[in-house]
Amino acid sequence: MGILIGLGSGGHSFYRHFYEPFMSLLHHSLIDYSNLQKEMKEAVDTFESIAIQQ
C-alpha cells in the first residue's frame, strides 16, 4: 500500500470509499463486456454458418 503513504486520513478515506469500489465496478464491467462480445461473436458465427448452408 505504498501508494497511500503521505495521503493522510482524507486520502485513505477517499481510497477506501471511492477508488476501491469504482475499480471493482470497472473491473467487473469490463469482464461482463468481454463475455458479451464473445457471446455475440459466437452468435454471428453460428448465424453465418447456418446462412451459408442454406
Encode pLDDT of 1-53 as tens digits. 455 555 566 667 878 888 899 999 999 999 999 999 999 999 999 999 988 88
CA dihedral (26, 17, 8, 1) positive or negative:
negative
- pLDDT at residue number 6: 58
Residue bearing cell 503513504: 5
Q: For residues 33 and 50, what is the distance between their CA atoms, to the nearest angstrom?
A: 26
Does this model's pTM top 0.85? My answer is no
| Helices within 1-54 (DSSP H only) | 8-14, 20-53
